[in-house]
Structure 1
Amino acid sequence: MKPKRIAVYGRVSTDAQSHASQLREVRAYVRRRWPKAEVAEYLDKASGAKFSREALDALMAEVRKGRVDILAIYKLDRLGRSLQHLAQLLGEFETNGTSLVATSQGIDTSESNPAGRLQMHVLAAVAEFEREVIKERITAGIAAAREHGTKNGNPFGRPRTLHRHTGAVARLMRRGISGRRIAAELNIPAGSVFAVMRAARDGGVLESLADSQK
């Protein structure tokens, strides 16, 4: 049997903080439970409110390639502080066959824990719900924007850009990529990307589009 491929993720918010305390417990847990595992560590010093972080982005790239069997963390909030972001990540773990263990919270979705598998299915259902809500809000926002024009009756130019790229922007959003990186990758204005992101939050992009025309 191939050894488990385990990723350990740690995060602190500032350079003045240390990963030591959270890593001590996670490393000990991994050594005790999977002594022959292949272990890689991913450490960030960044706010949990940021969807895109250097180490987290590298970790998720490995997850999407099917190279991570188990992700071990200290607490869920090390991954992210918003329900939207956590739901997105949990959905990707489920899709790519990555189990999640949060050592300080008793969360374990690995195959050896049937109750944990049920837990993952529940968490994945939440993730799917979040994705559908985002999709509906973006669609509703774009539809509303296309029905409105400027004061002189001419349609906004940017909604056409938004409409053409909404699907790609939404997919990259769900991967936690920042707005500016999405704009660079798709070669579209950053303002258009941020308008879509705002639409995902509040169901409409009219206000942001109007502001961008001033």
Structure 2
Amino acid sequence: MSKKVALYCRVSTGNQATGLEAQVRALRDYCTRNNITDCVIYEDENQSGVKQSRPALDRMMKDVRDGFIGKVIVYSFSRYARSVTHLLRALEEFKKINVGFVSITESIDTNTPLGSAVFTILGAVAQLERDLIAERVRNGLANAKAKGIRIGRLKTRDSDLIRKLRASGMTFRDIAKIAKCSTGAVGAEMRAMKAEAKKKEINVVLDNPTVVEKLPTSDVHLGQVFDLNISDLHLELAE
């Protein structure tokens, strides 16, 4: 079965119909110049390039994954994606299933040496973009912490009520109904209670010099002695 060539075009607002027509015309002209006849057009109107899920784009990607498409042609990179990360993710998927990608405006064809080079450059740019975002997030969190701002969601569950109800033998589901929280919140409170108990157990032991002398110095062995998951000690008391 011969595969078709997908022509994808997009405009952000509904009053850009002429822009959509111009893209279609440019794509058809490209196909004529390159003797491409078996093609199908996918048009997204009033769809932002920031959105990674769009009606026509989703249909095209399904056809690509189902093996009906052998090449994707767009008017420009920006018509397909507004972020390097989104574009690179698509290019990686196309490459994996041997689907070519052509951008008319940038004169890029991934089946050519230049196209392969651009693919590599985009990968480096996308990694840089991810690193910069991660760095900004870390700096923002550090700045907030320095100002005394609490990071994460506030705990809204009633810890005392949950613990008392659990001590009475009630199930998580019944506790959640009475405490007006989710069963997940009840479970989180139980894990927090367990972690607190372990901390107290450790503190009692470590306050006894005689016992401390007999304990292994390794954190791993210490965790084994107390049947303790070390990560429990850093448990956030938040839903």
State TM-score, norm by structure 2: 0.51
Deviation digits for residues 25-81 of structure 1 (CA, Å, limit 9, x no counterpart): 111111211334x20110001111111100000111112223222111111010111
Q: Does 1:150 align with 2:151?
A: no
Distance in 2 separating the partners of 1:76 and 1:92: 16
Q: What is the aligned-residue RMSD (CA, Å)?
A: 4.1
Aligned-pair CA distance for 1:87? 2.2
Partner of residue 82, structure 2 = 81
Write the distance in 2 (CA, Å) between the matches of 1:124 and 1:59. 23
Distance 1:50 1:26 in 2: 22
- In the other structure, the counterpart of 1:44 is 44
Partner of 2:116: 117
d(CA) in 2 for partners of 1:24, 1:13: 18
Is the 2:3–2:68 contact (alpha carbons within 8 Å) kept by the matching residues of 1? no
Deviation of 1:115 after TM superposition, in Å, equals 2.4
Match of 1:140 in 2: none
Separation in structure 2 between the aligned mates of residue 61 and residue 126 of structure 1, nearest angstrom = 27
Which whole-Å CA distance do the structure 1 matches of 2:121 and 2:3 have between them?
A: 24
Paired positions, count: 151
1:12-23 matches, within 5 Å, as 12-18=11-17, 19-23=20-24
Q: Structure 1 pair 87/116, CA: closer, same or farther in 2 (3 Å)? A: closer
TM-score normalized by the length of structure 1: 0.56
Residues 89, 31 of structure 1: CA spacing in aligned structure 2 closer, same or farther, 3 A cutoff? Answer: same
- Any stretches of 5+ residues in structure 2 without a counterpart? 135-151, 160-181, 188-235
Kindly indicate whether structure 1 or structure 2 has the higher relative contact order, using CA contacts under 8 Å at least 6 residues apart.
1
Identity of aligned residues (%): 34
2:220 alignment partner in structure 1: none
Which whole-Å CA distance do the structure 1 matches of 2:122 and 2:2 have between them?
Answer: 26
Distance in 2 (alpha carbons) for counterparts of 1:63 and 1:24: 23
DSSP-derived class of the 1:69 partner: strand
Would you say the 8 A contact 1:11–1:79 is kept in 2? Answer: yes
User: Could you say which residue in structure 2 is the equivalent of 1:34?
Assistant: 35
**Displacement after TM superposition at 1:5 (Å):** 2.2
Residue 12 of structure 1: how far off its partner (Å): 0.6
Q: Distance in 1 between matches of 2:121 and 2:64?
A: 20
Residue 152 and residue 22 in structure 1: after superposition, are their counterparts in 2 closer, same or farther (change >3 A)? closer
Of the two, which has the highest radius of gyration?
Answer: 2
For the Cα contact (< 8 Å) 2:108–2:114, is it kept in 1?
Answer: no
Question: One-letter code of the match for 2:42?
Answer: Y
Residue 69 of structure 2 aligns to a residue in which SS?
coil
CA–CA distance in structure 2, aligned partners of residues 90 and 43 of structure 1: 19
Q: What is the rounded CA distance, in whole Å, between the counterparts of 1:69 and 1:126 in structure 2?
A: 26
After TM superposition, what 4+ stretches of structure 1 lie above 6 angstroms from structure 2? none
Give the AA of the match of 1:41: I
Cα drift, residue 152 of structure 1: 6.6
Q: CA deviation at 1:3?
A: 5.3
